[in-house]
Structure 1
C-alpha cells in the first residue's frame, strides 16, 4: 500500500465512522488547481526533450478513443441500467472523460517504482477532457444543435482544467531554465499535496457511498465494470501505438477513469435536467475508489507484464 493512497482510505474511514474532519472548500479547490498546474508543468518540462512529428498522429488516436468510450457506456446505461436518454448521456460523458486525480495517483505510483512513461501524457489528459462532453450531450439530446459556438467557447475553450493544464504545459515547455525555480513548490511537493487531496477525496467518496440508494446495485456494478472495459481498451490502444510499459499503463488508466470535475460543470450548465447526484455517485463514489485501490495497481502490473 502506497502511503499517498493510504490517505484516501483514511478519508473514507473517517467519513464512514462519522468523524468530523474539517476540510475547507477553498483548500480543496486550491489543491485541485495545484495538481492541474503541476501535471502540466511536469509534462511541459519533459516534452522539451521528447516532442516529435508522430505526436499529431498519437493525439488523433487518443481523441478518437475519447469519442468511443461514451458510445460504449451509453448502451450499458440505457438498456441494462434502464436510465432515460438524458441521464444515460450525462453519465456516459463522465466515463468518456478522465480524472486528473486518478492520473496523478498513477504517475505517483509509476515514479515511486521507477517505471518510465512517455512525456506527452499530460497532453493526452487534456485531449480526453473534451470529446466525451460533446458525445454525451449529443446522446442526451439526440441532436447536434446544442454544439454551437457559444457552447464550445464556454465549456471547452474556457474550461478551467483544460486552460490550466494546457497553459502550464506550454509554460513548462517554453519556459526553459526559468521553470526550475518553480520545482521546489510544484514538483517536490507534488506527493504531499496529492496525499491531502486524496484525504479530501476519501471523505467525499465515503459520503457518496453512504448515500447510495436508487439504482445502487446497477451503479455499483457499472462503476466497477466500465473502468475495466475502458482500461482494457486503453491497454489495447497503448500496445497498438507502441507505448512503453508505463505508457500502456497510463493509457489504460485514462480509459478507466471517470471525470468528476470538468464534466459535472459542463453537464450542470448544458443538461440541468440530468440527475447530477447519480453521475457523481458513480464516478466519485464508486469508480474513483475502485481505480485508486484496485484499477491503478492492476493496469500498472498489466503494462509491465505485456512489455516483459
Structure 2
C-alpha cells in the first residue's frame, strides 16, 4: 500500500507537468487572483463542442474497427448501472453529512451521478501518453452514463419540488438532457465515426487529432477560471460540504473499481470506467437541474463538481485510478 501511494504521488507530480494540466492551474491562479483573463462564452462553448466532436468521432471510428463486442456490452451494462444507482447513494450523504436542503442535494447528486466529458478527455490523453491501450467503445460507455443519473435524480428533484410550485414538465427536462448541444454532439459524432470508420478518419485526421491538444489546453484554462470563481463566490459551500467534493469521487471510484472487476474489463478500460464513476458533470446535469430545480443553489452543485471534484480528479485522481486498475 505505501508503495502504491508513493507511485500515485510520483505520477501525480508528473501529471502536473502536462501542458493541459498546467493551463488548468494557470486558470485557477488567474481566477483566484481576480485577473481579467477570460474567454468569451461563445468561444468556451465552441471549444466544448469541438472536444466532444473529437472524442465522439474518434471513439466511433475505433468502435467500428472493434465491432459490437462482448467487452462493450459488459462495460455498457456496468456503466449504466453505476449511473442509475449512484444518485441514490449520494443524495442521503449530501443531506445528512452535508446538511444540504433537498433541492441542492438532489441537484448535486445528479451532477455526481453523471459524468464529465472533459475529465474523460484528460484521462484518455493521460493513458495514451503512458502507452496504455483502451477500447474506442469506452466513448459510447461515456455517452451511456451521462443521462441515467440525471433521470434518477429527477425523481428526487420532483419530491424536492413538491409544494414549491417550481416543478417543470418532464418533457422539457428530457429535451434538455438528450437534445442539449453537448450531449447531441457527443452521441452524433460517435455515430458518424461509427458509420464512416477509417474512411472518415482519413478526411478529418488533421481536424480531430493534432488540434485536439491545443483546444483541450484552452478549454481547461477556461475551466480553471470558472472553478476558481465558483469557490470565491459568496454562495460557495461550507467546508464540510466541500470535503464531500473529494469523498464522493473517491467513493465513486471504489464503486467503479468493483464494477470493472465484475465486468472483467481490461486494465485500460477499467481505468476509464473508474474515472467516469469518480467524475462529476458540470455541463449536462447543471443544465437539466436549472430547469428541474431552479431553487437549488448553483454555488453548491457547480462549486463541488467544477471547483473540487474536477481539479481533484484531474491532478490526483488520474494516476491513482490508473494504478488501481493495474493499467500502470
Q: TM class, shorter-chain normalised? A: over 0.9
Question: 2:264 aligns to what?
Answer: 242
Whether 2:185 is the aligned partner of 1:169: answer no
Question: 2:128 aligns to what?
Answer: 111
Distance 2:169 2:74 in 1: 27
Moved more, 257-266 or 186-195: 186-195
Deviations for 1:80-132, whole angstroms, at most 9, x for unmatched residues?
11212222111100000001111111011111111011221111111111111
Deviations for 1:241-276, whole angstroms, at most 9, x for unmatched residues?
111211111011101110000111111111112112
Is the partner of 1:21 in helix, strand or coil? coil
Question: 1:65 aligns to what?
Answer: 82
Question: 1:202 aligns to what?
Answer: 224
Distance 2:221 2:272 in 1: 22
Distance 2:49 2:218 in 1: 13
Question: 1:142 aligns to what?
Answer: 159
Distance 1:198 1:115 in 2: 23
Whether 2:137 is the aligned partner of 1:120: answer yes
- TM-score (norm. length: structure 1): 0.93
Unpaired stretches in structure 2, ≥5 consecutive residues: 1-16
Distance 1:156 1:215 in 2: 26
Alignment RMSD: 2.1
Question: 1:268 aligns to what?
Answer: 290
Is the partner of 1:142 in helix, strand or coil? helix
Is the partner of 1:119 in helix, strand or coil? coil
Q: By how many angstroms is 1:56 displaced?
A: 3.6
Moved more, 285-294 or 52-61: 52-61
Whether 2:19 is the aligned partner of 1:3: answer yes
Q: 1:212 to 1:76 in 2, by over 3 A?
A: farther
What is the aligned length? Answer: 306
Question: 1:87 aligns to what?
Answer: 104
Whether 2:64 is the aligned partner of 1:43: answer no
Would the aligned equivalents of 2:111 and 2:281 in 1 still touch at CA under 8 Å?
yes
Distance 2:44 2:312 in 1: 21
Distance 2:124 2:147 in 1: 21
Question: 2:175 aligns to what?
Answer: 154
Question: 1:281 aligns to what?
Answer: 303
Is the partner of 2:66 in helix, strand or coil? coil
Deviations for 1:167-197, whole angstroms, at most 9, x for unmatched residues?
1011111113033211101122111111111
Unpaired stretches in structure 1, ≥5 consecutive residues: none
Is the partner of 1:258 in helix, strand or coil? coil
Distance 1:143 1:194 in 2: 37
Would the aligned equivalents of 1:98 and 1:257 in 2 still touch at CA under 8 Å?
yes
